[in-house]
Amino acid sequence: MPQTTESRQRITQLQDALRKSGLQAVVLEPGPAMVYLTGVRWGKSERTFAVVVPAKGEPTWVLPGFEEMRARELIHAGDDIRVWQEDESPYERIVAALHDRGIASGRVAIDDAARFFVFDGIRKLAPHLDYVSATPVLKATGISSQ
The nearest distance, CB 128 to another protein, in angstroms, is: 17
Is residue 71 close enough to count as binding another protein by CB under 8 A? yes
**Looking at 2, 7, 11, 30, which residue binds another protein (CB under 8 A)?**
30
The contact mask relative to another protein for 72-111 (x = CB under 8 A, - = no) is -xx----------xxx----------------------xx
**Looking at 80, 112, 125, 140, which residue binds another protein (CB under 8 A)?**
112
Q: How far apart are CA 73 and CA 39, in angstroms?
A: 11
The nearest distance, CB 41 to another protein, in angstroms, is: 6
To the nearest 10°, report the CA torsion of 42, 33, 98, 63. Answer: 0
Q: What is the DSSP string of 15-52?
A: HHHHHHTTEEEEEE-SSHHHHHHH-------SS--EEE
63 beta partners: 83
Is residue 115 close enough to count as binding another protein by CB under 8 A? yes
Is residue 136 close enough to count as binding another protein by CB under 8 A? no
Contacts (CB under 8 A) with another protein, residues 8-27: none
Q: Is the dihedral of CA 68, 69, 74, 75 positive or negative?
A: positive
Residue 117: count of CB within 10 angstroms of its CB: 11
54 beta partners: 25
Where do contacts with another protein occur on this chain (CB under 8 A)? 30, 40-46, 64-67, 69-71, 73-74, 85-87, 110-120, 132-133, 135, 145-146
